[in-house]
Structure 1
Amino acid sequence: MVVNKAFEILKDMNSLYKQLLDEIDVGIHVINEEGKTIVYNKKMSQIEAMDRADVLDRDILDVFKFENDEDSTLLDALKNGKATRNVKQTYYNNKGKEIATINNTFPITVESGKIWAVEIASDVTKLERVIKENVLKKRNTKFTFDQIIGESEAITEVIDDAKRATRTSSSVLLVGETGTGKELFAQSIHNGSNRSGAPFISQNCAAIPDSLIESLLFGTKKGAFTGAVDSPGLFEQANGGTLLLDEINSLNPGLQAKLLRVIQDKTVRRVGDTKDKEVDVRIIATINEDPIEAIANGRLRKDLYYRLSVVSLFIPPLKERKEDIERLVEHFIEKYNALFQMNVKGIASGVRDILYGHDWPGNVRELEHVIEGTMNLMVDEEIITEKHLPMRLRKKRQTSSEPQPSNHPESEKHESKALKDKIEEVEKLYIQQVLSENGQNISRTAEVLGISRQSLQYRLKKFGI
């Protein structure tokens, strides 16, 4: 009777262990002293895209292919008694599919005295594939329209316009604040066009001094100056493809004039040379301010603006599409889960309120940095809470929730606003009023306001009128 009871308990415990192994979110693979698989859980089966029946009770080298047998961390643990922590391993299943895992592997001595080997694995196959396909094959262009996160009307309208721009080779001007994702759009346009197989070259015009940027863009002729050699510029290197000129308004007026000539004539002349070379390059330029204001303040030539803005795309700041925050957060959590080998599943409701209440001056880039920073502070937690957020966000929440003393001017019913926000609010209302008085006619409205039609169109887009 006692034996039967003990046997029943043993069966129950065995059943419990099997269920637990299939519930955990890491792969478990155990081989015995002969190198045959005796434990292979559900997650490991998913990682390696293998049926358990094809793996259990079979020699590991009969099922999986390694560059060298010694590359198997499991066999290394079994034969040499070597434990490894957080080691990346790349190998192939029986169908030739490449598998990449981060492993913790160690030998274990069981009750009988035999030595087995246990491997606990996390899957990085998908991450490896993304890196190879998008970075290596696309020649430094890893973004496509499918990777632009957001379903708000503000962002979907821009995506639709950008997709239409892939059909031609016309110049594109991307207007948007820092961190809104202008290069993401530029790469997506390139990858969606018939130039996708040709080079995509990106250059931040503000990062290079004036004395060097001309040589960088147009190339040099040997002997043009001391130490000069025959060297192609970015236009020649991007021939047949796309050249992204970031922060075009940082170029001095003289360089802007030379750039305009290259775009118009489709030829480039190296510094110190007397001959022109034909180039076939699509130009995508970005600017992080109102182009009309940049023209008025002498930072952008009007003729260059007209040439570049054949297609103008205004990328909305994050504060104008806050309904996309939740999806963006999910995306960044998934990204850093893979990079940090974590298992964060979401954010607390209080965190959601804080994120929606923030103005995001750094836009999507700032949001990504916030999520990355919070996950650096987490250990075993699965939910991001307020304590993980940067102090500046937590303090802002505390300040906004504290009642203002009644004898202070700040205790007015209406929340005080920054001067810039108040001016923009008045400007928007006045434009709406004049637009209504002129029957929604943009040309007449621009004339009454004393600004150009392009400037008015920019403001209509900016204010969502």
Structure 2
Amino acid sequence: MKKLYEEIVERVGVGIHAVDREGKTIIYNNKMRDMEAMDKEDVLHKDVREVFKFQENQSSTLLKSLEHGEEIVNVKQTYFNNKGVEITTVNHTFPLVLDNKIYAAVELSTDVTKMERLMRQKRTQTKTDFTFEHIIGNSNEIREVISLAKRATRTNSSVLIIGETGTGKELFAQSIHAESERANAPFITQNCAALPDSLIEGILFGTTKGAFTGAIDSPGLFEQAQGGTLLLDELNSLNIALQAKLLRVLQERKVRRIGGTQEIAIDVRVIATVNEDPIDAVANNRLRKDLYYRLAVVTLFIPPLRERVGDIPLLVDEFIQKYNQLFKLNVKGVSDEVKEFFETQSWPGNIRELEHVIEASMNLINYEQIIEFYHLPYQYRKKIDVNQTVVTPDFAVVSTIDNQTNLSDQLTHFEKKLIEHYLQLHKNHITNTAAALGISRQSLQYRMKRLDIYVK
């Protein structure tokens, strides 16, 4: 059993560091050695005070737990190893008590060193990279969204941008900021899914020295974005409890740092993005309803690429020119076969996926000037089935094929007939119709508006 316990301690994916009553290390597992870039011989049976160095006025959470008999839960600690390398961990530390006597202290650690560096960088931008001129597309679908977004530049109201991954939500957010009266102020972005809750709160609202182990006086993103715009990407990934704090900041226009007592007035425009239907996010407790209504003063729904097929040739040309410059090539375009193939794909990754396909294809080109089907990545080439057959729907909505009408118009006609058919089947009940079609209620309403479908 002793051997089994030792093997478990060595293989577990959490850093384990234990000291005896004198503060000397008695357990120092493999994960902890990797996190601190130290050998077992450097630490084992040595006093932690002699091995590690801590910032001014700070001490080891292990020794604190050992001395006071306290359990310390989820505390961030920054310290230095014997080579002077800075390390940041989030720790759960507790004493080992037998017969009312403390014999040891144990610390379970998660490495957040890289995340801490990211937190310090804050990813601050004072100038955006994109404006509305960078948004490519002539389709009615994208033109309508651009028009609405431009109107939003005249005010300071919050904006909620809804769209699948890869549709260009951040591009719209940057464009709104660049053409607003806040253009010369900071534009700061934060992906809410990129960091754990233990760090994201401090990043958003700031920290006060002494709030927790390792905490310093640090302004949060709201303070850094003062006078400008704060983009909260993938807001539906933010913890519900933090969403409540965010709502309070938005309503009161004041922020309080973690551990602080002073409320700081802020003048920040918030733009948030979600990668799913917000109604679904609210229903599944991923987005607070009150926060949704507070943010959705202006709502932009970015259509997926499959709903703006007519823009694919423009996007393809743009990406070809981009990678011609990067790769020193002279590609002129794509073959008719590739163009037709692109227009029939569902593009779950949207514009980002299309760009990656172009980039991958141009990596396989030697001196050719046209991207042929055999240049495409393998996973796309294998999609073509030479024995494809035409499947007739189980309802009569397909008109006789008009050889004089282009593909886009015929697909639009079919889409309208299909939606009308399902609406009729479900007695114009929007929610049930959307479920039968396998799309969200909002997506169905958007399509109905675009196709001039009205129900009583």
Coarse TM-score class (shorter-chain normalised): 0.5 to 0.7
Sort the Cα spacing of 1:367 and 1:195 in 2 relative to 1 into closer, same or farther, 3 A.
same
2:316 pairs, out of 312, 329, 333, with: 329
Tell me the residue number matched to 2:159: 172
Q: Check if 1:151 corresponds to 2:138.
A: yes
Which runs of 5 or more residues in structure 1 are unaligned? 1-137, 405-410, 416-423, 438-444
The CA distance in 2 between the partners of 1:450 and 1:326, in whole Å, is 30
1:414 shift after superposition: 4.2
Tell me the residue number matched to 2:180: 193
Q: Check if 1:460 corresponds to 2:427.
A: no
1:145 shift after superposition: 0.4
Sort the Cα spacing of 1:252 and 1:402 in 2 relative to 1 into closer, same or farther, 3 A.
same
CA contact (8 A) 1:354 1:393 kept: no
1:372 pairs, out of 347, 359, 366, with: 359
The CA distance in 1 between the partners of 2:354 and 2:391, in whole Å, is 31
The CA distance in 2 between the partners of 1:300 and 1:425, in whole Å, is 32
The CA distance in 2 between the partners of 1:247 and 1:211, in whole Å, is 17
1:338 pairs, out of 298, 319, 325, with: 325
1:448 shift after superposition: 11
Sort the Cα spacing of 1:213 and 1:427 in 2 relative to 1 into closer, same or farther, 3 A.
farther
The CA distance in 2 between the partners of 1:361 and 1:425, in whole Å, is 22
2:286 pairs, out of 271, 278, 299, with: 299
The CA distance in 1 between the partners of 2:444 and 2:431, in whole Å, is 14
1:446 shift after superposition: 7.1
C-alpha offsets along residues 158-215 of structure 1, whole Å, 9 cap, x if unaligned? 0000000000010000000000000000000000101110100010000010111100
The CA distance in 2 between the partners of 1:149 and 1:304, in whole Å, is 31
Tell me the TM-score normalized by structure 1.
0.61
Which runs of 5 or more residues in structure 2 are unaligned? 1-124, 395-414
Q: Check if 1:402 corresponds to 2:405.
A: no
1:223 shift after superposition: 0.5
Give SS of 2:365's match: coil
The list of structure 1 runs, each at least 4 consecutive aligned residues, that deviate by more than 6 angstroms after superposition, is 424-427, 434-437, 445-451
The CA distance in 2 between the partners of 1:237 and 1:199, in whole Å, is 8
Identity between Structure 1 and Structure 2 (%)? 60
Amino acid at match of 2:199: L
Q: Check if 1:290 corresponds to 2:277.
A: yes
Give SS of 2:251's match: helix
RMSD of aligned Cα (Å): 2.9
Give SS of 1:359's match: coil
CA contact (8 A) 1:140 1:200 kept: yes
Tell me the residue number matched to 2:265: 278
Q: Which has the larger radius of gyration?
A: 1
1:382 shift after superposition: 0.9
1:338 shift after superposition: 1.2
C-alpha offsets along residues 18-68 of structure 1, whole Å, 9 cap, x if unaligned? xxxxxxxxxxxxxxxxxxxxxxxxxxxxxxxxxxxxxxxxxxxxxxxxxxx
Tell me the residue number matched to 1:76: none
CA contact (8 A) 2:235 2:274 kept: yes
Q: Check if 1:215 corresponds to 2:202.
A: yes
Sort the Cα spacing of 1:349 and 1:450 in 2 relative to 1 into closer, same or farther, 3 A.
closer
Amino acid at match of 1:171: S
Sort the Cα spacing of 1:228 and 1:426 in 2 relative to 1 into closer, same or farther, 3 A.
farther
Amino acid at match of 1:256: Q
Tell me the TM-score normalized by structure 2.
0.62
Give SS of 1:396's match: coil
C-alpha offsets along residues 222-276 of structure 1, whole Å, 9 cap, x if unaligned? 1000111000000000010000000101111110000001011110000000110
Q: Map 1:29-428; keep pairs closer than 5 Å.
A: 139-397=126-384, 399=385, 401-403=386-388, 413-414=392-393, 428=419
